[in-house]
Structure 1
Amino acid sequence: MTALFPFDNSYARLPDRFFKRIAPTPVEAPRLVRLNRALAEDLGLDAVRLESPEGVSVLAGQHVAEGSEPLAAAYAGHQFGQFVPQLGDGRAILLGEVVGRDGRRDIQLKGSGPTPFSRRGDGRAALGPVLREYLVSEAMHALGIPTTRTLAAVTTGEQVIRETVLPGAVLTRVASSHIRVGSFQFFAARGDVEGLRALADHAIARHDPAAAEADNPYLAFLEGVIRRQAELVARWLTVGFIHGVMNTDNMSIAGETIDYGPCAFLDTYDPATAFSSIDRHGRYAYGNQPRIALWNLTRLAEALLPLLSEDETRAVAEAEAALSGFAGLFETAYHGGLNRKLGLATTRDGDAALAGDLLKTMAENGADFTLTFRRLGEAAPEAGSDPEPAAIEAVRSLFIDPTAFDRWAERWRRRLTEEPDVGTARRQSMRTANPAFIPRNHRVEAMIEAAVERQDFAPFDTLLTVLTRPYDDQPDFAQYAEAPEGGGRGYRTFCGT
């Protein structure tokens, strides 16, 4: 019989100081909540075997699969601006790597027991945060945003103690890799240039093979990470996503969204929104995310300085030049995304101001971010077809002062007349840029409550079904597109560790 996972573990072949080898801690009574069968197929895995007792046992950490070399990775990180020289996987264990249709992918268990990096923690995960990560990561994937994904969620039959007693669970995460900005900081803080170089060479081979052919491969690698992060954060903003804990140890050099802790989505648009209970000063607020991304990338550049050049002055100059490109990359991606949301296929002077003025008007008038853009698509004029008055009113009704929207909309319609004739395609094009369904925070909380309090996973299944088709009209699930009462103000998320 073939192996359950056809592992080929390149990270485990790095020097031992990169990680600690440790197996998951067995649990009492593992039970499969959900297997992501589509992802299993993409990875070339046998979904039927994964759902069998054999598969569930591995997904829960009960047994180590053939070919697995379980390990907890070492890394450091800036947490809310404060540097911690050693963090590491405190409740996650990398089982190994598989090669599927989309290349090499890590298979990692979260909540699989204590590791040498647990810092007195129990290494376990509660069911609520596991379901949140499953749901939100798969929603992000469906939205077209680079992300880690979830292969499975398993309950453990055990309890974990946080503020209260909660059911335990294990999540199986799939990622292009788990290499973080903090991974490089770990070696830089120790003056371990040999380790830094080995990590960089591994990351280049895995994520930036073309960089190996550049005159300065490490500079090319840095530039690649900067580009990926600039584009990623721009995509976050266009769907109203707030990561919540953008520490350097939570920034993947692969350009994927990783570590869904106190994450959430905007309801009412306000760039100062910060939902995380531990982000007391709004460091990682929605509108701060581009600035924080650049701050984190600057920490990566500092870590890479010994590799950029033996001449420190030259290394700093090259790093600064690379970092100076972030703003342009971000603005191009962000404003391109906003243009698509506004139905603009071309770019003209004044477009950024047009989009910015809409956002300002939304903030001043308590308008819902997702609903405004979705309904705007229905209110867009097309050749030979004016929008229905009801469609226009549906947008206006989102604003405390509808005439503020009217003044902006007049400018928008004039700008659309400058676009090439797209016939009747504009509204459809805007639908593909403006989701109808996002993981509404109140819906996520209701789903978690049902699962944790009543062991009722039907809300999870329904919400997952809806969110995997975010751009489609789904009349049977129209209520899942609705904003919460009060616009979501006062909502708080927790990291779940």
Structure 2
Amino acid sequence: MSSFKNTYSKLPHSFYETSSPASFSKPELIIFNEDLACDLDFQEVLNIPNERLAQIFSGQEILPGSEPLALAYAGYQFGHPVAVLGDGRAHYLGEIKQHDIQLKGSGQTPFSRRGDGRSALGPVLREYLISEAMHSLGVPTTRALAAVRTGEEVVRQFGAEPGGVFTRVASSHIRVGTFQYFAFKGDIESIKTLVDYTLERHPPQIHKKLGANHYKEKSLALLKSLVEVQSQLVAHWQSIGFIHGVMNTDNFSLAGITIDYGPCAFMDEFNFHQKFSSIDHQGRYSFSNQTQIAKWNILRLADCLIPLISEGKYKEKEKGEEKERAINIVEHELMSLFPLFEAKRNERFALKLGIQNYQAEDSELITTFLTYLETEKLDFTLSFRKLPELLENSKHSFYPDTPLLKEFLEQWKKRNPNSSLMEQINPLYIPRNHLIQKAIDLSYQGDDSYFHKLHQIFKNPYQEGPYSEEFCSPPTEKERVEKTYCGT
């Protein structure tokens, strides 16, 4: 009996295109996430040889019950609308335990446009390491099931590179861009279908109470849910110094998970305006701007839902008035919810300072410490990790003794910070950019041992392990990564 259940293929055909993965001559398995496969009860891939796993996770063998599809979506990319994007190099295989299984880098689809549909090995290894590290850090994220070498080369920005296929697991691939795909076409019925489908797959499952219609209530519930999950997600990102790098609406998940690790990066030295993506010239998706962009993306979903919120029997001449009323309802609802972003961010940073119960005045304390880090160019991760030591010794050598530090310490100690809480919430090991790059460089030379070592280290980010300081230290000047790339 097949493990696959395919709810997406039961949607109207306008939601996807059928597409088969490309052929690869010599696929070779690099890593298989057996623990995740067990959690999913994915019986077909348990206890089988690596050679067959390589065939399955490169798309050469399609398991019974799987129906490869390329999903349709649109998006705002760096603020500019693109009416048709879709999976141009990915194949959705089906769902197991309400989780999508998707191959990335698996060949051309009807959405490929001029692309070859392939992926270089670097982005495959990068997404495997970082998405699994994010899971261990407690951040809602897509997961990594497998990484495979294809045995072929792809030509990219810096020349020929080995190819790879990544297998991604997600609680869904529903994006704001999925709604925009139909909104750009003026296809209201498909938006209604998508609202129902989204509410079936993700909380709040309000559709069970409301029945077939009531799209105004469903749409408002969907917007409220998105604010709740994304405010928590972005707060979590910022608390670990994570910069997504490409927060376009096609990468903005209705499930509230981190999706698409293309040009993402982790900060070393703290900088409020830090960015790494080579294509983010204006800093649209910089560290501190991620909250504003999340709100902007939610407003773009609201644009799609206005026709549903303004539903009702009214005369043609009243449509404008009804639409205006719907816009006012949405604006009022979202403006009352958007303060959640700041609240969740402040609560999480208070925990990083060892403060269990956030109070309004703690916002200034958080800002003072972050300003100190930026001024002194201190490492973000280690500055928080070493705070219990600073609590014991205010003259700690890691922290330059300045008036700003004295100001922070005076106010911080009044809050009776909890050292054990700080150790639980401030990681020691993160996927630093230079470590990821070293793993990729070595794998390109045929040596995957460093990749596997990083994978093991990132499984326990909060506990000091028997590893050299290399794995928790900031990069040297020579190792520093200044720019990251999408890899498409």
Identify which of 314, 336, 342 aligns with 2:347.
Answer: 336
The answer to whether 1:208 aligns with 2:208 is no
Q: 1:283 matched to which residue of 2?
A: 284
Q: 1:348 matched to which residue of 2?
A: 359
Q: Which SS does the other structure have where 2:415 is aligned?
A: helix
Q: How does 1:64-213 map to 2 (within 5 A)?
A: 64-99=62-97, 104-163=98-157, 164-212=159-207, 213=209
Q: 2:457 matched to which residue of 1?
A: 466
The answer to whether 1:378 aligns with 2:375 is no
Give TM-score, length-normalised by structure 1: 0.91
Quote how far apart the aligned CAs of 1:488 are.
7.7
Q: Which amino acid aligns with 2:110?
A: P
Further displaced range: 6-15 or 426-435: 426-435
Question: Does structure 2 conserve the Cα–Cα contact (< 8 Å) formed by 1:32 and 1:51?
Answer: no
Q: 1:450 matched to which residue of 2?
A: 442
Give TM-score, length-normalised by structure 2: 0.93
Q: Which amino acid aligns with 1:90?
A: G
Distance in 2 separating the partners of 1:365 and 1:63: 54
Q: How does 1:411-426 map to 2 (within 5 A)?
A: 411-416=411-416, 426=418
Quote how far apart the aligned CAs of 1:402 are.
4.5
Deviations 1:298-342 (A, max 9, x none): 101001111112231232122212321343211221111011101
Q: Which runs of 5+ in 1 are unaligned?
A: 381-386, 420-425
Question: Does structure 2 conserve the Cα–Cα contact (< 8 Å) formed by 1:61 and 1:109?
Answer: yes
Distance in 2 separating the partners of 1:209 and 1:238: 26
1:226–1:136 CA distance, 2 compared to 1 (3 A): same
The answer to whether 1:23 aligns with 2:20 is yes
The answer to whether 1:321 aligns with 2:332 is yes
1:324–1:279 CA distance, 2 compared to 1 (3 A): same
Deviations 1:155-190 (A, max 9, x none): 111111102100000000000000100000000010
Q: Which SS does the other structure have where 1:131 is aligned?
A: helix
Q: Which SS does the other structure have where 1:230 is aligned?
A: helix
Distance in 1 separating the partners of 2:447 and 2:487: 20
Distance in 2 separating the partners of 1:448 and 1:203: 36
Further displaced range: 290-299 or 46-55: 46-55
Q: Which SS does the other structure have where 1:217 is aligned?
A: helix
Q: Which runs of 5+ in 2 are unaligned?
A: 312-321
The answer to whether 1:221 aligns with 2:222 is yes
Provide the aligned C-alpha RMSD in A: 1.7
Q: 1:404 matched to which residue of 2?
A: 404
Q: 2:317 matched to which residue of 1?
A: none
Q: Which SS does the other structure have where 1:154 is aligned?
A: strand
The answer to whether 1:7 aligns with 2:4 is yes
Question: Does structure 2 conserve the Cα–Cα contact (< 8 Å) formed by 1:154 and 1:169?
Answer: yes
Quote how far apart the aligned CAs of 1:455 are.
1.0
Q: Which SS does the other structure have where 1:177 is aligned?
A: coil
1:50–1:236 CA distance, 2 compared to 1 (3 A): farther
1:267–1:27 CA distance, 2 compared to 1 (3 A): same
Distance in 2 separating the partners of 1:355 and 1:200: 38
Question: Does structure 2 conserve the Cα–Cα contact (< 8 Å) formed by 1:77 and 1:186?
Answer: yes
1:7–1:344 CA distance, 2 compared to 1 (3 A): same
Question: Does structure 1 conserve the Cα–Cα contact (< 8 Å) formed by 2:131 and 2:141?
Answer: yes
Deviations 1:206-227 (A, max 9, x none): 1125322366112101110121
Q: How many residues align?
A: 470
Q: Which SS does the other structure have where 1:187 is aligned?
A: helix
Deviations 1:228-280 (A, max 9, x none): 11111011000000000000001111000000000000100001111000101
Q: Which SS does the other structure have where 2:236 is aligned?
A: helix
1:232–1:48 CA distance, 2 compared to 1 (3 A): same
Further displaced range: 218-227 or 169-178: 218-227
Question: Does structure 2 conserve the Cα–Cα contact (< 8 Å) formed by 1:21 and 1:70?
Answer: yes
Distance in 1 separating the partners of 2:359 and 2:226: 29
Distance in 1 separating the partners of 2:172 and 2:143: 11
Deviations 1:32-67 (A, max 9, x none): 000011111111124544554333211111121110
Q: Which amino acid aligns with 1:97?
A: E
Q: 2:319 matched to which residue of 1?
A: none
Further displaced range: 265-274 or 402-411: 402-411
Distance in 2 separating the partners of 1:9 and 1:296: 28
Distance in 1 separating the partners of 2:16 and 2:291: 31
